[in-house]
Amino acid sequence: MSGFMKSSLKVLLATLFLTLGTMAHAQISSTSGSGSLGPNPTFCPSGENSGWNWQVDQAPVTTTVTSQAGFNLPQGAAPCLLQISVNIPHSTTIHEVHGNISLTTFNSFSGGCGNGSAVAQLRDLSTGNVIASMKLGVLGPNSTNVPISATFATPLSIASFQFQYSVDVCGPQTINVSLVMS
Amino acid sequence: MDFFPGPPNDFPASPGFTQVTIAIPSQCPARVVHEIHGNIAVEVQAINADCGHASIIAQIIDQNGNNIASATLNELGLGQINMPVKGSFSTPLSVTSFTLQFFLNPFHCNPGSSQVVSWSLAMS
């Protein structure tokens, strides 16, 4: 099962770059990043197939955020928090968001590990306003998905995002985010 | 390029990135999209040893790169996952063509495993 997550982490950015290449004629500004888990600047320990990546695509009207984060806490590890700050090419105003956030676990429950439990949030870095948030649990190898659809009574002026992930059970689990904002 | 060599709703034999552009017929005026609703679904129809999971990114994009709907979904083993889509645009999109983008994680082996992405989206 672990190869599944490893492969997913490896290919997401490649895919998104490929997407950019094919959309070069369109008016898109994109930025992306990736990294490994470890003691600094994150508090989540590294493990097999752990890591994260993200991409932000800005078109004339929409801003799309795609991200994947894989965690593999060892048994007995404390809950951990991963925060990733993202500066975007152009500041924008967000009135609405739609898309999904999902949580997937890959192993059967064994020895106390194998379930999933996570919080995922996309926030406005400068103010802390939360654009989308989910808290999910998954038992054993499985995947669950949260559709996101919301509008903001007061539109948010955004110059930078923050991905915030928190995981509190051991074993491999992956969080996927795909959100369109306008 | 034939993106759909098999039955109409089948993916190509090789996993990876696929996009299909659909132009709105020239005799029709550009469509202005204020709102979208519908669903995107992924199902795993057949599995082969360790190759029975679906991991996909699906997007529908206008001619300017504006993303109308996007989903990233995983399905482990035989089964289906469905994602309702509901969104609106603060600045309506004037659309002359759509591009459907699919990415299927290459981890999924062929032959022997089968994943299908389907969607039904209404825009106005």
Q: Which of residues 160-179 of A touch B (CB under 8 A)?
A: 174, 176-179
**Residue B51 — pLDDT band, cuts 50, 70, 90?**
low
Residue B106: pLDDT over 90: no
Residue A10: pLDDT over 50: no
Please tell me the predicted confidence (pLDDT) of residue B111.
Answer: 55
Report the mean per-residue pLDDT for chain B: 80
SS3 of residue A1 by DSSP: coil
Taking only the tens place, the pLDDT of each residue in A103-120 is 999 888 887 898 999 999
Of A106, A142, A178, which has the smallest distance from its Cβ to B71's Cβ? A178
**CB B87, CB A180: distance < 8 Å:** yes
Please tell me the predicted confidence (pLDDT) of residue B110.
Answer: 53
With CA atoms as reference, the chain B residue closest to A68 would be B72
Q: Domain residue spans in chain B?
A: 17-123
Please tell me the predicted confidence (pLDDT) of residue A23.
Answer: 53
Taking only the tens place, the pLDDT of each residue in A127-167 is 999 999 999 999 988 999 999 999 999 999 999 999 999 99
Q: Does domain B17-123 have CATH number 2.60.120.260?
A: yes
What share of chain A has pLDDT > 70, as a percent?
84
Residue A67: pLDDT over 90: yes
Residue B37: pLDDT over 90: yes
Please tell me the predicted confidence (pLDDT) of residue A42.
Answer: 60
**CB B31, CB B95: distance < 8 Å:** yes
Q: How many angstroms separate the CA atoms of A63 and A55, rounded?
A: 10
With CA atoms as reference, the chain A residue closest to B86 would be A149
Q: Do B90 and A59 touch (CB under 8 A)?
A: no
With CA atoms as reference, the chain B residue closest to A66 would be B72
Q: Do B73 and A28 touch (CB under 8 A)?
A: no
- The complex scores an ipTM of 0.79
Whole-model pTM: value is 0.84
Residue A123: pLDDT over 80: yes
Q: How many angstroms separate the CA atoms of B68 and B55, rounded?
A: 20
